[in-house]
Structures are given as C-alpha cells and as structure tokens.
A and B are shown apart, each in its own frame.
Chain A
Amino acid sequence: MALRDLPAADLAASLEEEAPAATRERHGWKWLLCAPALAVLVFAASGPLLIVLVYSFLTPGSFGGVRWEFSTEAWFRVFFARDIFDPEDVRPNAAHLAIFWRSVTLALQTTLICAVLGFPTAWFIATRPAHSRGLWLFLITIPFWTNLLIRTFAIQEVIRNQGLINTVLLRLGVIDAPIQMMYTDFAILIGMAYVFLPLMVLPLYAAMDKLDIRLLEAGYDLYASRWRVLRHIVLPLVKPGFIAGSILVFIPSIGAYVTPRVLGGGRNMMLGNLIELQFGQGRNWPLGAALAMTMLVLVVAALVFYIRTVGREEAGRRDG
C-alpha cells in the first residue's frame, strides 16, 4: 500500500499498463532474467532484516549475543524503564523517548535546511550554460569523494571554540567569549545539513533540468511576477525533486551515526548511537534489534505520511 504511492512504484505500474498483454504473455518466462536481482533482494535485504526482527524477540546473552529464549522484554524496554531496585515500578523510558524525539526533529530540520539551501543551489546550476553545468555538479559531488569522518572533522574545525568562526568573531570583536557550538544539537544539525545537502541538490537539479523554460516565460507573459512564477509554476513542477530529495536526506539523517557522535559528543545521542550502544557497551542485542526495528517503522510511517499528504494535496488541486 505504501509502495504503490511511491513515485517509482507509480512509474513501474504505468509502464506495466502500457505493455500490451499479448507481449507480456509471450515473454512470460523472461522474469527469470531478474532472478539474480531477486536473490540479492531476498538474501541481502530481507534476510538480515528478518534476523534483526527475530533477535528483537530473544534474551540478551551475558557477554553480548543472544540466548535463544523467547522474550518481549526488549520491546518493552524500548518504550518503558523499570526501576533498578523494584522491577514492578514501571515508567516511560524518558531517555529513549528523548532520543527518538531528537532524531526525528533533527532529521526533519536537516531536511528543511537542505531544501532551503538546495533549491537556490540547484536553480543556480540548472540556469548555467549547458557546458558549465557539468563542472558545478562535479563541485557539488566532491565532498562525496572524501571520507564522511574527515568531512565531519572539517566541520568541527570550523565550529569548535578555537575554530574558524569563533576566531574570526573574536578577532573582529563581535563577541568576547567563544560561542559554544560543539556538542550541541545545533552542531549536529550543521554537520548533517552539510553532509546530506548534495542528496537534495541532485534530485532537485534533475527536476529543474527537465523544466521547460518556456513555461516560465508563459507565466511572465500572463502577468505573473517573478515570485508568483516561482510559487505557481516552478515549485509545483519541481515537487518530485523535492520529494525524492527529502526522502534521500531524511532517511540517512534519522539514522545518522558518525555526525552526532563526533559533533554531538556523548550526550546528544541520536537513534544510530543508541542502537550502536546496545550492540557495544550495552551488551543488549535484543534491545538494539528492537530499537532498529522501531526506527524502521518510524521511517516507513514518516514516508507514508509524507507521500500521502503530498499526494492528497495533488488530488485536491485536481478536484478544486
């Protein structure tokens, strides 16, 4: 149901409709050609997921790993905490909920920042002469060539107390004491926006590249101001790029691990760090597995909600 709403699935469905039934029958055995891909999907994608699901219902081993004993304790612990001395004293797991909340809000904020910064960037590239666009796209993708950790340390170099920003501001006399940016949610946000920006720019650029410039001219010709051309013509037409970009940015940001670890320090954990903790020092694999599954559900729910809302808006416009 969720899949049907994804643009890619729509495309596949419409392609399928176009293929005449007769041809499909004649080439019926050809599905075998995608057997290798199916095998990879089943064993490499669904398999591990299944293992994680199974583990989340087992009992933690004393030195990590699992004991094959059924238990729902891990799932219980995802949302609730027991008092150490009195196991009957149950309360919501505030620490976990705070981390969920931080992960979702930070991921949303990252997506928003990337969208706001990515739009003008992609527009700039799309409006360059054809021969120089390649260069700009190349520049956008350069950060991908560098290790994520190194890029994150580079950001740290800019925002730490003795870093670029603070030094410049101090020298200029704008501030008397360095602004604490490292080890805050703000630092995580900056880092993630920087790291994931290309994932927003590229699909946006692809959508803008397809945009017929004459549509904008038609808009101006029909008495629209620049702003209204943007609002009524450009934005609706590059929306698929926004959707693709948002998905591409949101998913890795909600599970980000390196960036919050380096820039957020130990205190400002995100889901990725919490999960890692369970498989590492926490030695609670089932809890880690349950947290991972929770995150999966969160992401899928967010996507379904997002695409539904966007889709409904579209349908509403068509009716109204």
Chain B
Amino acid sequence: MRDTSAAETRHGTQAAPEVEIERLCKVFGLGVAAFRALDEVTLTIRRGEFFTLLGPSGCGKTTLLRLIAGFEQPSAGALRINGRAVAGLGPNQRPVNTVFQNYALFPHMTVADNIGFGLKMLGRPRAEVRATTAEMLRLVRMEAMADRRPAEISGGQQQRVALARALAPRPRVLLLDEPLSALDLKLRKEMQTELKRLQAETGITFVFVTHDQQEALTMSDRVAVMSAGRVLQTGAPEEIYNRPADRFVADFIGDTNFLDAEVAAVAGDAAELRLPGGAVVWAGLPEGLRPARGDRVTVVIRPEHARLAEDGPLAGTVERSVFFGTDTHLHLRLDGGGAFILRRQNTAAVNGAPAPGSRVRLGVAEGAVQILRD
C-alpha cells in the first residue's frame, strides 16, 4: 500500500485527504500540573502537498508531529492516515517517517546502512535494500559518502542522509521537525530548494515544521499557523499573508501596521473606515463580520502596500529611516497617534529617504486595508 502513494499523487487525486486530524487534544501531566499542549486541533493535510506547521516556540508543533508519527497517543480526538484510523498503532506500524530536528542518525552505522535501515526492518530482500539505498544516495547526492559514519560528514550532509533515510521506505507522509534550523543561512537556502525538489520528485506528502515565517511562505503549498496549542488559520501562503484571520496571524507573519479605526458606513461587503487623523478609506469586510456604524475595529496595512503620495489620505511625520539595500523602511508617527512603517523599494530613480522630522502624506493601494476579526 505504501508503494502506490507516489503514483497516486502524480495521477490526479491531489485533493484527496492524506492526514485527517479531528479535534485532537494532547494533555501532558495530571491534575493541577496538567498542561494542554494541543487544544482541539482540526486539520486536513492533502495528498502530495507541502504542508507547513508554523508557530512560535512552545505552541505545540512538535507535539502534533509526534502524534502523527505515533510517538505519543492523543488525549482526545481522531487521527486518520489515508482514511485509516491509526489510534493505538505504534510508529513502526504507520506509513509515516520522521526527519528529526537533530537528525538522529545511527552513529554506529555507515551512511548507506542508515539509509537502508527502514527497508531492512520491513524485511525487504537484500537486493532491493541495496538498490533503493543506491537510488536514495543518488537522490540526495551523497553517493561518495556511502561508507562514512555520520560523525565523519558535515551537518548539511547529515541532513541529507536523514532525509534519504526517511524517504527510503517510501512513506505516505514525511514529517520534518525544523530540519533546517541547525544550518547556516546559505546552506539553509540550498536545502530549502533541495527539499522542494525532493518533494516534487517523490510526490510524498510533506509535513514541515518551522517557526520561520519566511521559510513557511516560500516553501509551502499550505500553511497552518499555530499558537498556544490551537490552529488559528490554515491556507495558502498568499491567503495567510494577505488575509490574516486575526491579530496574532497578522503580527506573526511579516511586518504589519495595526491601526484603530471607526466604522463610518457599511455598504454590501465593504465598509467605510475613519482612520486616525480623520482619513477615510474603504475596506472589504471579512466573511461573517458585519460591524455597525460607529463600531471600533482594528485594521492592518502591510508596509509595502502604502506609498508616499502628495494626495494620500494619511499624514504623518518621519521619525527615522532604515536602509535595507533593496528597500528602505520609513518609521512614521501618524497624525492622530499610532506608529506606521512604510517600505519603499529603492530604484535608480528613488534612493534615499525624507529626512527625520519632515512631513509626508501616504496613499494606500486598493484593497490594502484589511479589517481584523478580534
């Protein structure tokens, strides 16, 4: 059954659910010391997708992965892999493999033996183990290191061996717990590309854990943002970034300006908002939110969605500017209170920034103002 997963993925059924998680809870400890690490998590991970769990340290990402892998049993809720309930099955009975954060390579085995371990334990014939190991070595470009011990290869190479070892038995789902966090920036970028390539080549469903929002946005088909044991929002990177469900998501993903606003009028699924300093803008209403005239709401504007404009609705004073090479961040104090960061692309024509203390006006792009559900 494990062997067919890749083929199935390539031939359609993209939307078929691979991992279904329903109201999953995990409580550590007992009585007053009990700690709810996962609180009614509901998620569907689709076959063949690159799915990322994103959230700050301690939000329960590792716990969720360990539940999927079978290292922990849930306190409540249901977990299905490929439509089959896996409650009570141990890690060795689930078609799921894990790439551990510290790689956890077997130090007493060679690179090749590490990679072949899973197949050997599955009782596959020797010839098959050898052939698959060779194929995996080629896939992660480690042919030359086959006979070395893990202690004799670099961190990035260990990373690749860990990947190959987890991929060799062709699991339905590959779980990766912050696999890149120990690598330096350059290697990290390289491995990000490598991971995407491996996922595309094998067609295996990847569940990737990170607390780096940039990494989550660039690599994933879909992202689940977690906080304190809950899933706050699930969606494609663009969706999460452009239409954050709540303040936490907006704040956690990218830089954001939060502004208090008053609803001046509601028309259809849009509202007229009065921003600090009296500026008036229109914004689309998120689904299910119907504020009344006079309600106070929080809106977000991404720094790159605003621009300097003589006739813009917002006015403020420049406090300082920070040069980033490709762009410059202007830190503003808005009339009517509130800080605002504006990101301006540097071009050959536009370089440098207004001096601190100078007065500027801001325009916001169409649809850039998002109303948050609190």
Q: Does B84 contact A (CB under 8 A)?
A: no
- List chain B residues, Cβ under 8 A from A215: 104, 106-107
A232 to B107, CA, bound (A): 12
B100:A218 contact, CB within 8 angstroms: yes
How long is the Cα–Cα vector from A205 to B250 in the complex, in angstroms?
50
> Does B69 reach chain A (CB closer than 8 Å)?
yes
How many angstroms between the C-alpha atoms of A215 and B122 in the bound complex? 18
Provide the bound-state CA to CA distance between A219 and B71, in Å. Answer: 11
| A194–B96 alpha-carbon span in the complex (Å) | 45
**Which B residues are CB-close (under 8 A) to A237?**
107-108
Q: Which stretch (A20-28, A84-92, A222-230, A245-253) binds chain B?
A: A222-230
Q: Is the CB of A224 within 8 A of B121?
A: yes
Query: Could you say which of B70, B92, B107, B110 contacts A225, with CB atoms under 8 Å apart?
Result: B92
Instruction: Let me know if B106 and A233 touch, CB within 8 A.
Output: yes
Q: How far is the CB of A218 from chain B (nearest CB, A)?
A: 4
CB distance from A161 to the nearest CB of B (A): 49
A232 contact set on B, CB distance < 8 A: 117
Instruction: Tell whether, in the assembled complex, residue A221 and residue B91 are in contact, meaning their CB atoms are under 8 Å apart.
Output: yes
A219, chain B: closest CB distance, angstroms: 8
Bound state CA distance, A318 and B149, in angstroms? 9
Contacts A223-B121, A223-B122, A223-B169; is A218 near B92 (CB within 8 Å)?
A: no
| A214 proximal to B (CB < 8 A) | yes
Q: Is the beta-carbon distance between A228 and B121 smaller than 8 angstroms?
A: yes
Nearest residue in B to A215 (C-beta to C-beta)? B104
- A266 beta carbon closer than 8 Å to chain B: no
Given A214-B102, A218-B98, verify A224-B108 contact (CB < 8 Å): no
Instruction: Kindly state the separation between the CA atoms of A214 and B99 in the bound complex, as whole angstroms.
Output: 11
Question: What is the distance, in angstroms, from B289's C-beta to the closest C-beta of chain A?
Answer: 44
Q: State A219–B169 Cα separation when bound (angstroms).
A: 13
CA distance A237 to B110 in the complex (A): 14
> Shortest beta-carbon distance, B29 to chain A, in Å?
13
B222 within 8 A of A: no
Interface presence of B357 (CB below 8 A):
no
Which residues of chain A come closer than 8 Å to B97, judged between CB atoms? 221-222
Q: Which residue of B lies closest to A220 (CB)?
A: B91
Do A221 and B92 touch across chains, with their CB atoms under 8 A apart? yes
Q: In the docked arrangement, what's the CA distance between A318 and B71, Å?
A: 31
Size range of the chain A interface in the assembly: 10 to 19
- Within 242-298 of A, Cβ neighbours of B (below 8 Å) are at none
Flag whether A212 is at the interface (Cβ < 8 A): yes
Using A221-B92, A221-B98, A222-B121 as known contacts, say yes or no to A318 and B110 having CB atoms under 8 A apart.
yes
Interface residue? A5 (CB, 8 A)? no
Which residues of B have CB within 8 Å of A218? 98, 100, 104-106
A237 CA to B92 CA, complexed, in Å: 21
Are A220 and B104 in contact (CB-based, < 8 A)? no
The reply on A236 being an interface residue by CB < 8 A is yes
Q: How far is the CA of A233 from the CA of B109 in the complex (A)?
A: 9
Cβ contact within 8 Å between B92 and A220: yes
Output the least CB separation between A314 and chain B (Å).
Answer: 8
Residues of B close to A220: CB separation below 8 A: 70-71, 90-92
A16 at the interface (CB under 8 A from B): no
Closest chain A CB from B81 CB (angstroms): 14
Q: Which residues of A contact B118 (CB under 8 A)?
A: 222-223
Asked if A217 is at the interface of the complex by the 8 Å CB criterion, the answer is yes
Measured between C-beta atoms, what is the minimum distance from B269 to chain A in Å?
Answer: 48
Residues of chain B from 84 to 129 with CB closer than 8 A to chain A in the complex: 90-92, 96-98, 100, 102, 104-108, 110, 117-118, 121-122
Contacts A222-B121, A223-B122 given; does A217 touch B165 at CB 8 Å = no
Report B31 CB to chain A, min CB distance, Å: 17
- The distance in angstroms between the C-alpha atoms of A215 and B104, with both chains bound, is 5
In the complex, what's the smallest C-beta–C-beta distance from A232 to chain B, in angstroms?
A: 8
Min C-beta distance of A7 to chain B, whole Å: 14
CA distance A271 to B149 in the complex (A): 44
Chain B neighbourhood of A228, CB < 8 A? 121
Contacts of A225 in B (CB 8 A): 92, 121
Bound: A233/B105 CA distance, A? 11
Contacts of A221 in B (CB 8 A): 69-71, 91-92, 96-98, 166
Query: In the complex, A219 Cα to B166 Cα: how many Å?
Result: 11
Q: Name A214's contact: one of B100, B108, B147 (CB within 8 Å).
A: B100
**Contact: B108 with A212, CB < 8 Å?**
no
Q: Is the CB of B92 within 8 A of A217?
A: no
Which of A212, A215, A221 has most chain B Cβ within 10 Å? Answer: A221
CB distance from B201 to the nearest CB of A (A): 21
Closest to A235 in B: B108
| B108 near A222: Cβ-Cβ < 8 Å | no
Chain B residues whose C-beta falls within 8 Å of the C-beta of A233 in the assembled complex? 106
- Contact call A217/B91, Cβ cutoff below 8 A: yes
What are the residues of chain A within 8 A of B90 when measuring CB–CB?
Answer: 220
Instruction: Find the residue from A215, A219, A222, A228 having the highest chain B CB count within 10 A.
Output: A222
CA distance A221 to B94 in the complex (A): 8
Q: In chain A, what residue has the closest Cβ to B108? A: A236
**Min CB gap A120→B, angstroms:** 21
A217-B71 contact given A222-B165, A233-B106, CB 8 Å threshold:
yes
Contact in complex: A212, B169 (CB < 8 Å):
no
A215, A228, A317: residue with the most chain B Cβ atoms closer than 10 Å: A215
New contact pairs (7) apart from A214-B102, A217-B71, CB-CB < 8 Å: A221-B69, A221-B98, A222-B97, A222-B165, A225-B121, A237-B107, A317-B108
| Interface of A toward B, CB cutoff 8 Å | 212, 214-215, 217-225, 228, 232-233, 236-237, 317-318
Which 5 pairs of residues, A with B, have the shortest CB-CB distance?
A: A222-B118, A223-B121, A218-B104, A214-B104, A220-B91
11 contacts between A and B (CB under 8 A): A214-B102, A217-B104, A218-B98, A219-B117, A220-B90, A221-B91, A221-B92, A222-B92, A222-B97, A222-B121, A228-B121
B residues with CB within 8 A of A: 69-71, 90-92, 96-98, 100, 102, 104-108, 110, 117-118, 121-122, 147, 149, 165-166, 169
